[in-house]
Amino acid sequence: MGRAEVSSSEAQTWIKAGYWYSRRQSLGPDIDSTLFTRLTFAFAYINNSTYELWIEPNDEPYMSTFTDIVRLKNPSITTLLSIWAGDSNFSTFFSMATQPSHITSFIESSIQIARLYGFHGLDLCCVKPDTSTTKMEAIGILFDEWRTAINRESKNSNQSLLIFTLAGHYLPSKNITSYPMDSIQRNFDWVHIVSYYYHLPTTENFTGAHSALYDPSSNISTDYGIKEWISRGLPAKNIVFGLAYHGYAWTLLDPSANEIGSPATGPAVMPEGLISYKFIKSDMGCDGEKVGYNSTYVTNYCINGSVWIGYDDVEAIKTKVSYAREKGLLGYNVWQVTNDENWVLSKADMYYSKQNVNVDLNCGGYVPPEYVKRGIYSTKYDVYSFGVLLLQIISGKKNTCLYGPDNNLNLLECAYELWKDGKSMEFMDPLMVDTNSACKLMRCMQVAHLCVQEKWEDRASMLEVYSMLKNETEDVPTPKRHAFSTRNDIDEENNLKSKEEICSVNFATMSQVMPR
């Protein structure tokens, strides 16, 4: 009986999972388990002499009560026990995985301990891909045997099958070697991608987005990693997105240079620079003008004197959760839940119906259609808002009113119809028009159209918007009809280019452009 057969019911559930790290705090009933579908106890370890699962004595009391406590508020929640196999336990894990007798001891003890302490599943955390093909083949065999033992134990004991998950590196390969993808696909219920730790102040002398969703300058990003996992054969429906409830603090070399990539001299605040979201919000003064959001990388940052902190606040978390939904992933997994501040990050997956959004669909608003219609925060949410604002600025019109010959067009429709018919200047605020401004205004209008597209995938990124507005010779793509349109484009693609205004570099010297 393989993974697909035993976990079909799991695949239908949106996973909202999180780690609780035993070394950081005492376990109390204040964990809001209603915000999660899975909670994972971190960690159990591998004994380096017997290769059986080992529990630190200080963790045992918390482990024995973990499931009962988190079920006080959420009786339906399931719990997992995570086994640490990274960094210091890395060599021990591979010593176990390459010896058949050690494998048997490890697997049997992992299942026994999970049952003894009332867990519903096992999680293997943070084994990175290795350059040794022999090691990768060995852990593929380990996964096969582990899954076989889990299935056998469930059948013999008449207990529910243990959930079986893997926390994997953001990239599934290293040089020419890779995780044993076939074994992973057939054995694990899902793979949680560790989508953080990309840039650390202990190893890099510049500030970085340690949990970047995108990175225009490199392949070190979550989007790139997830695409690699999928290209290697793991279906999106078996991938869980990793969210970080912590950030990193750098000491800036020059406090006036404080963007992502600015020179830094090492960690700040803590020895390694790692600080929880709770500490960032309560002790670092991260509010108001000190806080920024970078939609290119999808991350937040806080500047406090010479201290620069990169982290994910509500904006970034919502965007990443929406990304996971839009890409067809299975859900998300948090490291770690008690780093949250008043559970504001954990509530980012709350979706509201269209009726709960204060926007008039006939007149438009600053809220994009994916949120209005489906409650989804897309990676281009802020781009849409910027596009609406830009149309208001160049026109001097409100987006809460109706325009056109019959007063039946919202601001976006009015702008698009005039642009499509070659009458862009009729849309412009007369106070903004002079003999040299027509080309610039029409360029702003076309860029704004690219920002307010119906599908977020069709919208330009903020980086592209900035480039198009700054470089007046750069080509601007032809936009499609905008969001919230009440009209249909009949044969539009055939006649659009014949009507739209083409603005060359020399257009700005025309002197007879007048508003109507």
Calpha distance 303→291 (Å, rounded): 7
Better-scored residue on pLDDT, 245 or 376:
245
Mean of the per-residue pLDDT values of the chain: 85
Task: Give CA angle at 276 (275, 278), nearest 5°.
Answer: 130
Judged against a pLDDT cut of 80, whether residue 392 lies above it is answered with yes
Tell me the pLDDT band of 422, cut-offs 50, 70 and 90: confident
Calpha distance 43→34 (Å, rounded): 22
Domains within the chain, CATH numbers bracketed: 15-244+313-355 (3.20.20.80), 369-470 (1.10.510.10)
What DSSP state is assigned to residue 27? -
Within 8 A by CB and 6+ apart from 492, the residues are 420, 481
- Tell how strand 246-252 and strand 121-127 pair up: unpaired
Calpha distance 446→442 (Å, rounded): 6
For residue 335, the one-letter residue type is W
Calpha distance 262→208 (Å, rounded): 8
Q: Could you give the 3-state DSSP secondary structure of residue 71?
A: coil
**Tokens 């040299």 map to which residue?**
436
Within 8 A by CB and 6+ apart from 316, the residues are 211, 213, 293, 298, 299, 300
Better-scored residue on pLDDT, 479 or 230:
230
Lookup: tokens for 59: 């963790």
Q: Which string of DSSP letters, residue by residue, matches 105-160?
A: HHHHHHHHHHHHTT-SEEEEEEEPP-S-HHHHHHHHHHHHHHHHHHHHHHHHHTPP
Tell me the pLDDT band of 431, cut-offs 50, 70 and 90: confident
Judged against a pLDDT cut of 70, whether residue 16 lies above it is answered with yes
Indicate the length of the chain as a whole number.
516
Within 8 A by CB and 6+ apart from 434, the residues are none
Calpha distance 437→168 (Å, rounded): 53
Q: Could you give the 3-state DSSP secondary structure of residue 81?
A: strand
Judged against a pLDDT cut of 70, whether residue 503 lies above it is answered with no
Give the pLDDT score at 25.
67
Tell me the pLDDT band of 508, cut-offs 50, 70 and 90: very low
Judged against a pLDDT cut of 80, whether residue 369 lies above it is answered with no
Tell me the pLDDT band of 106, cut-offs 50, 70 and 90: very high
Give the pLDDT score at 3.
52
Give the pLDDT score at 28.
67
Tell me the pLDDT band of 411, cut-offs 50, 70 and 90: confident
Give the pLDDT score at 24.
56
Judged against a pLDDT cut of 90, whether residue 179 lies above it is answered with yes
Judged against a pLDDT cut of 50, whether residue 46 lies above it is answered with yes
Q: What is the largest CA-CA distance in the chain?
A: 88
Sort residue 124 into left (φ over 0), alpha (ψ -120 to 50) or beta: beta
Give the pLDDT score at 7.
41
